[in-house]
Structures are given as structure tokens and as C-alpha cells.
Amino acid sequence: MKSVVGNDNADLYKSYIIFSERCTLKNIKVTSKNVKVIKRNSLLKHIKKDLLESLKVLNEEQIDGIYEKLGKYCLADDKLKQAHINEIKLKKVNKF
């Protein structure tokens, strides 16, 4: 991500690991303030809170530039989604 955006300022990046409401999250321990493991129904609340508490490190022009760079990664087709799922399954199998 940092290489695509062209900025390695750690204050710019947040990771949200999202699960559906049907999931039960147990014993989740995250030590980074920039990583959150949450359920989908609380995502908007967390993003708003993070936006309010974040330092303003980019101007509007920089934000627009990042938006354009990331835009092509937002529209994943079914083939790409399935490849991602298969890659995760493979990593899980190889872990054991």
C-alpha cells in the first residue's frame, strides 16, 4: 500500500479487519493502535472516531492524488476475489 500511495508516514495508515455480525470474536489481542478487529456493523463508528482523532497530515490535493492511485484497486471482479480467497486458504494450509 505504501509503495502505491508513495508515502510511508505511519499516521496515514489504519488497518480494519472486518467480520460479519454472525461471527463471534474471541480472544482478539491487537497491540497496534492502527489496527482494529471489529464487526461490520461498527465500522462506520470506528472510522468516524479515527478521522476525528487523526492528525491532519495531508492537504486536499494530496488526498485527491491518493484517491486516484487507489481507485483501480477498489473494483475487484469475481475472479480476483476468488484468487484472494484461494491464496488465504493456501497460506492457512501451509501454516500447519
Q: Is residue 51, in this structure, part of any structural domain at all?
A: yes
Q: Is residue 48, in this structure, part of any structural domain at all?
A: yes
pLDDT, position 49: 92
Angle, vertex CA 48, rays to CA 42 and CA 51, nearest 5: 140
Q: Is residue 23, in this structure, part of any structural domain at all?
A: yes
pLDDT, position 5: 77
Element (H, E) at 19: strand 15-19
**CA 20/CA 81 separation, integer angstroms:** 17
Question: What pLDDT digit, counting tens, does each position of 27-59 carry?
Answer: 888 888 889 999 999 999 999 998 898 888 888
Q: Is residue 30, in this structure, part of any structural domain at all?
A: yes
Amino acid present at 3 = S
**CA 64/CA 87 separation, integer angstroms:** 31
How many domains would you assign to the chain? 1
pTM for the model = 0.56
Q: Is residue 68, in this structure, part of any structural domain at all?
A: yes
Q: Is residue 49, in this structure, part of any structural domain at all?
A: yes
Find the domain containing 29 and state its range: 8-95
Q: Is residue 87, in this structure, part of any structural domain at all?
A: yes
